[in-house]
Structure 1
Amino acid sequence: MQRPFEQVPVTRLGLAVIVALYLAHALPLYFYNVAMPAILRSQGVDLRWIGMLSLLYVPWAFKFLWAPLVDRHYVNRLGRRRTWLWLTQAALVLGIVVLALTGLEHGLLLFVLVGLWISTFAATQDIAIDGYTVESLAPAEHRLGSMAQSIGVGLGSMLGGAGVLWLYQVVGWQSALLTLAGLTALTMLAVARVDDRHSAAATAATPGFIATFKRREVRWTLLLILVYRLVEAPAMAMLTPLLVDRQWSLTQIGLLMSVAGASVGLLAAVLAARLLQRQTPASLLLRAGWLRSLAYLLIAGLLLSGLADGSPLWLGAMVLVLLAIRYLAMTSLYALFMQLCSRQQAGTDFTVLVCIELLVFFVGGSLSGFLAKSLGYDAYYLLLGGLSVLSVVLCKPIVRLIQAESGHR
């Protein structure tokens, strides 16, 4: 019987394909995550509604429900992963074109429906990409797969966030969105380089997410996600509104969050891949947690002392530090996920873990506007700094349990 993938050493072209695949779904994702909050806030939309924008990503939290279908069903001539990559990529381009031609002028309902369409197909595409990444790389190279994922997401933030935000100011909504659709269509060139027609031949077991939950190391990892990520989500969700309320222009925010931020993030992802040669993903994740706690407290200090008002560069520098820490943590966390995945249902296993992570992140983000509005930004980040310290302390014993259980497999 043939192995799911003949695991030859990864090449630069192979990593470039993985980067481009993750870029494909990150483009529309970061349009909603970076550009839309800034656009809405500049138009005077209430913080509470901007926070609720996170709920458009509900399909990402529940995609584990159809992940086994993506692992099971495919067109033989195309391949297990490429079948879904072609389908979802076409659906994404169509959704972005419709959004470009409609926008908010045709009512909130249509805007939300198109957003859910884009979100659902991007989430489905992510299942196939994650499965391909885990299956095509040897376990020792999962750190490179996680790095490639972070780079693709970083480029998506840069182009889908800052790029579209800048285009929106220069040429307007429709031209900016049509450009985004064109960029998304270009990533189909990477799909053409994926050849996994032999990948499903050796999969004897029927993929299912119930099998994922039966493994104790996975259940402990789900608790780790809850404790670690619940604090991070509210902090990230309010960064863009904070900058708008500090009189940053949309162009400045786009350059900071998606150009400078993504560039710093890409460097952090490469650094994480190097560090993972010498330490486990879980240990690096905890170190990133301590750095995250310090960054939240420093942001609170800048706001309380008035330095953020006197010199906006201080606040901008702290935002970049926070984004770098986030990429460091994300690369570590996803490398841990890849290590825990079964090769018989890699797409399903990885999706279950990511879904819980995103559910925690979106719930925290959706509530962030209410908390920030009631406390004010300074007390808000001070509170999150204290909670972040507590979360890292609680995560330490959980990490030991994960390592003990995974070592028994």
Structure 2
Amino acid sequence: MTTSGKAPTSAVGTCAVGMGTFSILTALYFAQGLPFGFFTQALPVVLRDSGFSLFAISATGILFAPWALKFLWAPVVDRYGTRRRWLLTLQLSSSALALGMACLDLESTLRWLFVGIAMMNVLSADVATDGLAVERLGPRQRGPGNAIQVGAYRVGMIAGGGGLLYLFSIAGWRGLFVAMAIALLACTIPVWWLPRTGESRAPRPAASPATTAVAWWSRLRRPGIVALILLIGAYKFGDSMGSSLIGPFLTDSGLSLSQIALVKGVLSSLGALAGAAAGGWVAYRYGRRSALLIGGIWQTASLGLYLASSMEIGGFGLIVTACLAEHVFGGVATVAVFTVMMDAAEIAHAGSDYTLLACSIVVVQGVAGLAAGLIGDLAGYPMLFATSVVASAIGCAVMVIALDRGVGPAGVHATLRATSAT
């Protein structure tokens, strides 16, 4: 069993930094982010424009339960089939579902839209992509690799949250879902270059008396994993709370759908790319700890800009600045966290381990979103953003201090020491 987080010296290791790997990961994480971005960033704007309360909008987060529960079927993906087969099946199914949703009448009722969102999340909560990334990226490549992952995912989210929102404003539901289907299909093309057999994959998990359905429990019981999950939750809670209702905040600030699409589309895309690149460079050049600290501090500062804006300071210019800063500095923090998560994953259980940690972030986002909706409805946006600033600052401090004291899996600390030394 591999515990150091190092990639095996095999065909997987030799192709870890190939452009083919980066191209595939770019396409797949963009494909993950596109529908997720629309449903989490653009849909709240549409719902708020239709008169939904902030708490009701936050409650739709239950539709994203598949992202929080995907660790349950992660051992199945690790144990059976190839990455290529899983990816092709899920990607093509997602594209077909989007095309099917384009044929529905969503103008009279949103019932089928919510059903479609739940189904899309089952298909998009992709364990195979996460496992592929962990297998093909060595410890030194995980900073740049996660920059690509976070950049592609965030650009996908922004394309879904801004680009598809703009398309919705001019072409309605049908045009939106046709475009989504085409984009998801296009992102499937690089997957065809993956090996048709499992020869490039890491060794399959050894036989275990535990059934596949509960195999994840053994992964959760690894020393330091629960502590790391709690630290990740603390680090991301404040940021998730503040960012969950940015769309409704922009709507309530008087921005039109096209203005919101511009701010959360073009400008935020540039910020996301810059943040991902900066996060990858900091993690590679200065190590995980510095990336976590820098990302956490500036992530908190960007939430402070929203706080000032909610107090009617700075006008439209500050709103744009806050959105840009959120994606730049949030990108740095996210790259740092995802890199640490990869360090904690064992190669033989790549999909299961990484997915388990990723699910913790989704749970935190859901809880933080509900808290944000409740605070926003009861006390308004200034209190919401003030609370998120405090929570983000505390979470950053807790995670950095805890890692400094040796809390978490041994593999994480071995990589922390190695990257700090270089």
Match of 2:325 among 313, 321, 327: 321
Tell me if structure 2 keeps the 8 A contact 1:31–1:164.
Answer: yes
Tell me if structure 2 keeps the 8 A contact 1:41–1:244.
Answer: yes
Q: Does 1:265 align with 2:272?
A: yes
CA RMSD of aligned residues (A): 2.2
The farther-off stretch of 376-385 and 323-332 is 376-385
SS class of match (1:172) = helix
Q: Does 1:133 align with 2:133?
A: yes
Tell me if structure 2 keeps the 8 A contact 1:23–1:153.
Answer: yes
1:16 corresponds to: 23
SS class of match (1:345) = helix
Residue type at the aligned position of 1:30: G
1:175-214 equivalences in 2 (<5 Å): 175-195=175-195, 197-200=198-201, 202-206=203-207, 208-214=215-221
Match of 2:398 among 386, 394, 401: 394
1:234 corresponds to: 241
Q: What do the CA deviations read for 1:294-314 (whole angstroms, capped 9, x no partner)?
A: 23233323333x324xx3111
Residue type at the aligned position of 1:165: L
The farther-off stretch of 38-47 and 224-233 is 38-47
Alpha-carbon spacing, 1:215–1:176, altered in 2? closer, same or farther (3 Å): same
Alpha-carbon spacing, 1:404–1:198, altered in 2? closer, same or farther (3 Å): closer
Q: What do the CA deviations read for 1:249-286 (whole angstroms, capped 9, x no partner)?
A: 11111111132112111111111111112323243112
Match of 2:112 among 79, 89, 110: 110
1:3-402 equivalences in 2 (<5 Å): 3=10, 5-8=12-15, 10-74=17-81, 80-105=82-107, 107-123=109-125, 126-195=126-195, 197-200=198-201, 202-206=203-207, 208-304=215-311, 306-308=312-314, 311-400=315-404, 401-402=406-407
Cα distance in 2 for partners of 1:329, 1:201 equals 29
In the TM superposition, what is the alpha-carbon distance from 1:100 to its structure 2 partner?
A: 1.7
Alpha-carbon spacing, 1:349–1:103, altered in 2? closer, same or farther (3 Å): farther
Cα distance in 1 for partners of 2:161, 2:64 equals 16
In the TM superposition, what is the alpha-carbon distance from 1:59 to its structure 2 partner?
A: 0.5
Tell me if structure 1 keeps the 8 A contact 2:289–2:400.
Answer: no
Alpha-carbon spacing, 1:56–1:159, altered in 2? closer, same or farther (3 Å): same
Tell me if structure 1 keeps the 8 A contact 2:299–2:333.
Answer: no
SS class of match (1:318) = helix
Q: What do the CA deviations read for 1:49-107 (whole angstroms, capped 9, x no partner)?
A: 21122221111001000000011111xxxxx1011101111211122122222253464
Tell me if structure 2 keeps the 8 A contact 1:162–1:255.
Answer: yes
Q: What do the CA deviations read for 1:210-252 (whole angstroms, capped 9, x no partner)?
A: 2322322322211111211122211001111111111111111
Q: Unaligned stretches of 5+ in structure 2?
A: 1-7, 416-422
Cα distance in 1 for partners of 2:339, 2:174 equals 38
Tell me if structure 2 keeps the 8 A contact 1:297–1:381.
Answer: yes
Aligned-pair identity (%): 25
Cα distance in 1 for partners of 2:78, 2:244 equals 32
Cα distance in 1 for partners of 2:242, 2:74 equals 29
Cα distance in 2 for partners of 1:378, 1:86 equals 45
SS class of match (2:12) = coil
Cα distance in 2 for partners of 1:92, 1:16 equals 20
The farther-off stretch of 292-301 and 337-346 is 292-301
In the TM superposition, what is the alpha-carbon distance from 1:373 to its structure 2 partner?
A: 1.4
Cα distance in 2 for partners of 1:355, 1:341 equals 14
Alpha-carbon spacing, 1:193–1:299, altered in 2? closer, same or farther (3 Å): same
Alpha-carbon spacing, 1:107–1:298, altered in 2? closer, same or farther (3 Å): closer
In the TM superposition, what is the alpha-carbon distance from 1:382 to its structure 2 partner?
A: 1.7
Alpha-carbon spacing, 1:222–1:103, altered in 2? closer, same or farther (3 Å): farther
In the TM superposition, what is the alpha-carbon distance from 1:345 to its structure 2 partner?
A: 0.9
Residue type at the aligned position of 2:242: A
SS class of match (2:14) = coil
SS class of match (1:203) = coil
Tell me if structure 1 keeps the 8 A contact 2:166–2:261.
Answer: yes
In the TM superposition, what is the alpha-carbon distance from 1:9 to its structure 2 partner?
A: 5.4
SS class of match (1:264) = helix
Q: What do the CA deviations read for 1:344-392 (whole angstroms, capped 9, x no partner)?
A: 0100000000001111111211332121111111122122222222222
Q: Unaligned stretches of 5+ in structure 1?
A: 75-79
Residue type at the aligned position of 2:175: S
SS class of match (2:284) = coil
Cα distance in 1 for partners of 2:13, 2:377 equals 54
SS class of match (1:315) = helix
Cα distance in 2 for partners of 1:394, 1:122 equals 31
In the TM superposition, what is the alpha-carbon distance from 1:153 to its structure 2 partner?
A: 0.8
